[in-house]
Chain A
C-alpha cells in the first residue's frame, strides 16, 4: 500500500508545467503522469487539475489545441509556451529555495 498525500497549495501549477516541459499531454494524461512520476505518492484531484489548466492557459503559460490520443480519439492537448518555460525555471528555483529552507528547519534538531 502506497502512502498518498495531498499536494501543497500552489505546487500543482509547478507540477503541471514540469510535466508539460517533457512533452505535450492531454488532461487525463497529465494527472496520470504526475501520479506516475511521484511513484503514486501524489494523486492529482481532477477537481483541481482542470481549473489549474485553465488558469495557466489564461495566464499564457500553456496553450491548448486539439490533437489525437494514442487511441486515436480527439483530445485537447496542452503544451508549454516560452513564457511558461520561463515561469517553470523561476518556479523551480523558488521551489528549491523553499524546499531547502523547510528541509533545513526540519533537520535542525
Chain B
C-alpha cells in the first residue's frame, strides 16, 4: 500500500468518521430488525424475539470498538468526533441554530456589556495615583450626609487637619461665562477649584502649574487653568498659550496652566478659576458651594481622618454657633462617593440583563429538550447497543459547549455595541471616563458566563436525556417515549420564566409610573409654548445698574414686539432649568440665636412681567416694578408657602423679612407681593419656596429669557436672536431650549432607565411566551393520539382547547404566584429610583400580571387550536 493511499485512507477514516458511525448504527439496527423479524416468524412473542436478537448479537459497544479498531480511527479520540457530529447536526438545522445563537447571544451580550460598565464604574480603580488614599468630604447636617461645604469651613479644615497630604475643594456644578478676547465671543463652562485641588488628585498640569496659595486668597492674583479640549479649540493647541490671557466675562485672566488630555473630574468644564478665601462663592459660612477632595497622609486611615475632622467640626460649632450648629464633615472613600449614586441603577440593569439571560437559557434548554426528544430513537438505539450513558451525555454536552461557544462569540460581538447604547442612555457623568470597551476582566467574565450558560441550559437536559430508560423508549416507539420527566422539567422552566418576567415587568411598570408621576407634577407655571435662553451681558460694558436695567428692559420690549410673542419674562434662574441658589430667610428678629436656621428659599432677581409671562399667579400685593431701583426701598416678592412659613398666617404685605446675605446682620426687605409656588429644583423635588427681588436692586450679568409665544415655541428662535443682535451684536443668545424640552431633559435619566428596563421586560415577556408556547405545542404533539381518542369519543373542540389552555395557564398562575413576592423584594431594592408610586402599587401589580396573563393566554391558544383541529383518523394513522 502506497504512502499516499495510506494517508488518504486515514484522512477519510478520521474525517468521515461521523458518516461511518451513522452507517454502522444503521447497519446494526437493520441487522437486529432482520433477526427479530425472523424470530417472530418462528413464532416467538415480540418481546422474546427482541431479547433473543440482542442476546445473539452480543455486546454491541464492545463490538463497535472492534470495528473501530479495525478501521484504526481512535486516534483523535471521542471529543473531536463529538464536536464534529454536533457541528454537522446543527448546520442541518439552521433555524434552530439561529434561534439559539441569537437568544443566548443577546443574553450573554447584554450581561457582558453591563458587566463591562460595572467594571469600569464600580469595580475599577479611579484613574489617579494611589486612588485608595482619596476621600471625598461632604457636609453633614445632624449626622445626615449632604453635599456642599462652605468655603470658609474648607479653609479651616485644610489649615487645622493633620490627616491629609493635600485637601482641595471644587464646585460640584459648572458655571457659565462669556469668553472674549482672541477669537469669537463664546460661552464656556468652568468651576472654581482651590489651591492643592489638582495635587490632591495627583494630577499635574501638562503645561504650566496649578493655583498657588496666593491665588487662593481674596484679592490675590488670578489665573486660569485650561482643559486640554478647550486649549485645543480656543487656542489651537498653541504651546505658547501661557503667554496669553483669556478674557472671562470682560476680565483678562492670565493662562497659567493646561491640564493633560483626558483629565476630567466630576464636572465637564472648559477651564478652572481659583477659589479664593472670602471671594466669590466662598464669602460666608452659610454659603455651601464646595465639595472637598483629600489625599490621606501615609498611614492614616479614613476613620482616623474622620476623627480628625470631627474635632475641627466641633470647634467650628463652638466658634460659629449661628452657622455651624449641627454641621459636620463626612469623609467617604472617593470611589464610593462618586460611584454610589449609580450603584442602584447599575445593579438594577445588571439584574435585569441577568434575568433576561436566565430566561433565555430556559428557552434554549427547552429547545434542546424538544430536540433531544426528536432524537430519542437514535439515542435509544445507541444506548441499547451498549453505548454508555456517560458517552451519550458527553455527546450531548459537546453539542451544548459548541452552542455556548458560538453564543459567547455572538454575545461578545453584541456586547461592545450594546455597551455604547447603554452608556448613551445611562449617563454617568460624575464618574468621568466610563468608556465602552471590553477589558480583560470583562472578557474573563464573558468566558465564565458562557460556561455557566452551558451548565444552565445544557447539562441538565443532557443528563436527563441520557438517563432515560432506553428499553422503555424502544418498547413504546417515539410517540410518548419517556418524555414525561422532560415535560415536567420544561414546565418548571416556564414557571420560572413567568416569575422572572413578572419581576422585570413590575419593576419596569413602577419606573414607567414614576415617569408618569414626574410628567404629571404640578409645576406652578405654564410650560407650554415657552422658549428659554440665556443672555449674559459684559459687566465691563454695562457697568451701572441703570445701564443693565435699561438693556434688559429694551430687550423685553423688542422681543415682546415680535410677531407671535405674547409676553416675555426675565429672571436670574428659571425653574428646573437653573436650579440652586438658596439662602436663609426669616423674620429679622429671629436671626442671631444659635441653631435657628430660618427657612431656606431660592433667591431670584426678576424684571417686571416675569410672573405674568410664566403664568405664575399673583396672590397678593404687586409685581416688582422698574421704579424698584437702587434708590427705592429694598423690596421682595415671596412665594406663597414661604410667606406662610415665615409669617405663620399673618398678612405679609408691608412686613419685613431678613435675608442672610453673608454679613453679620441679615439684609432687610419689605414684602410687596405674594405669588404662587413653583417647582424650582427638579420635578421630583416638588414645589420649593422662593423669593424674588427686583433686578434693578441687584443686577447680575446674566438673566434668562422666557418667551411665551402663540405658535410653536422653538419657531421664534431666529427672531429672538435677531432682536438681541440688533440691540448688542456682542451678546450671544445661548442655551436656547423650549421649556418642554428642558423639563423632558430633566427627567431623561429616569426616562431612559424606564425604557431600557421596559425593553428588557418586553424581551423577557416575548421569550417567556415563546417558552410557554413551545411547552404546550410539544405536549399537544405528544398527546395527538390521546386527543384523537377523546375527540373520537365525543369530546368537543372547545373542551380540547380549554384543557390545553388550562394546562398552560396553570403554569402561568404558579409563575405569577411565585413572581409576586419576588417582585415585592425587587421593588424594595429599587425604591430609591421611584417617585410618586409605592413599591406595592396595586395598580402596577394587577396591570402587569393581567398583561402577562393576556400574552400567556395568546401563547396557549395557538397550540390549543391546533389540538382542537386534530382529526382522529389522522391521529390514529400517525401510529
Contacts and interface: CB of A to CB of B under 8 A. Distances in A.
Interface of A: 26-29, 32, 45-47, 50-51, 54-55, 58, 69, 71, 73-76
A76 B71 contact: no
A58 B63 CA distance: 17
A55 B38 CA distance: 27
A54 B63 CA distance: 12
B56 A46 contact: yes
A45 B71 contact: no
Contact of A47 (B33, B35, B57): B57
Given A26-B30, A28-B31, A28-B35, A50 B23 contact: no
Contact of B70 (A29, A58, A69): A58
Interface in B20-69: 23-24, 26-28, 30-31, 33-35, 37-38, 56-59, 62-63, 66-67, 69
B42 to A, nearest CB: 13
B70 A76 contact: no
Contact of B33 (A29, A46, A51, A73): A73
A27 B30 contact: yes
B484 interface: no
B58 A54 contact: no
A28 B34 contact: yes
16 contacts: A27-B31, A29-B34, A32-B38, A46-B57, A50-B24, A50-B27, A50-B63, A51-B67, A51-B70, A54-B67, A54-B70, A55-B70, A69-B34, A71-B37, A73-B30, A75-B27
Among A51, A55, A76, max chain B CB count under 10 A is at A51
A46 B33 CA distance: 14
Given A27-B31, A47-B66, A55-B70, A76 B23 contact: yes
Among B26, B31, B38, max chain A CB count under 10 A is at B31
A76 B57 contact: no
Given A54-B70, A74-B30, 10 more contacts: A45-B58, A46-B56, A46-B57, A47-B57, A47-B58, A47-B59, A47-B63, A51-B63, A58-B9, A69-B34
A73 B71 CA distance: 26
A16 to B, nearest CB: 14
Interface string B176-201: 00000000000000000000000000
Nearest to B69: A51
Say what secondary structure dominates the interface of chain A: helix
Contacts of B66: 47, 51
Interface in B84-135: none
Q: How large is the interface on B (under 10, 10 to 19, 20 to 34, 35 or more residues)?
A: 20 to 34
A69 B30 contact: yes
A17 B392 CA distance: 36
Nearest to B33: A73
Nearest to B38: A32
Given A46-B56, A47-B58, A47-B63, A75 B70 contact: no
Contacts of B59: 47
Contacts of A75: 27, 30
B765 to A, nearest CB: 46
Contacts of A54: 67, 70-71
A20 B58 CA distance: 24
B871 to A, nearest CB: 28
Contacts of B34: 28-29, 69
A21 to B, nearest CB: 21
A29 B62 CA distance: 22
B63 A46 contact: yes
B30 A50 contact: no
Among A32, A45, A46, A58, max chain B CB count under 10 A is at A46
Interface of B: 9, 23-24, 26-28, 30-31, 33-35, 37-38, 56-59, 62-63, 66-67, 69-71
A50 to B, nearest CB: 6
Contacts of A45: 58
A101 to B, nearest CB: 30
A82 B9 CA distance: 20
Contacts of B70: 51, 54-55, 58
Contacts of B26: 74, 76
B30 A28 contact: yes
B562 to A, nearest CB: 89
Nearest to B13: A58
B55 to A, nearest CB: 11
A54 B70 CA distance: 7
Contacts of B37: 71
Contacts of B27: 26-27, 50, 75-76
Given A51-B66, A58-B9, A76-B26, A46 B71 contact: no
Nearest to A75: B30
Contacts of A55: 70
Nearest to A50: B67
A34 to B, nearest CB: 14
A59 B57 CA distance: 25
Contacts of A76: 23, 26-27, 30
Across chains A and B, which 8 residue pairs bring their CB atoms closest together, nearest first? Answer: A28-B34, A28-B31, A47-B63, A47-B58, A51-B70, A51-B66, A75-B30, A76-B27
Contacts of A71: 37
B161 to A, nearest CB: 87
B583 to A, nearest CB: 93
A104 to B, nearest CB: 35
Contacts of B38: 32
Nearest to A73: B30
A75 B63 CA distance: 19
B2 to A, nearest CB: 13
A27 B63 CA distance: 14
Contacts of A28: 30-31, 34-35
B604 to A, nearest CB: 91
B59 to A, nearest CB: 8
B677 to A, nearest CB: 87
B444 to A, nearest CB: 47
A54 B65 CA distance: 12
Among A29, A54, A55, max chain B CB count under 10 A is at A54
B31 A58 contact: no
B7 to A, nearest CB: 14
Contacts of A51: 63, 66-67, 69-70
Contacts of B71: 54, 58
Nearest to B30: A75
A54 B59 CA distance: 18
Nearest to B20: A54
A44 to B, nearest CB: 11
Contacts of A26: 27, 30
A51 B72 CA distance: 12
Contacts of B62: 47
Nearest to A55: B70
Nearest to A58: B71
Nearest to B56: A46
A108 B180 CA distance: 130
A90 B23 CA distance: 31
A47 B66 CA distance: 8
Contacts of A50: 24, 27-28, 63, 67
Contacts of A74: 26, 30
B836 to A, nearest CB: 71
A54 B57 CA distance: 17
A46 B31 contact: yes
A13 to B, nearest CB: 12
A58 B71 CA distance: 8
B359 to A, nearest CB: 42
B60 to A, nearest CB: 9
Nearest to A49: B31
A98 B38 CA distance: 36
A38 to B, nearest CB: 17
Nearest to A76: B27
Contacts of B67: 50-51, 54
Contacts of B35: 28
A28 to B, nearest CB: 4
Nearest to B65: A51
Contacts of B33: 73
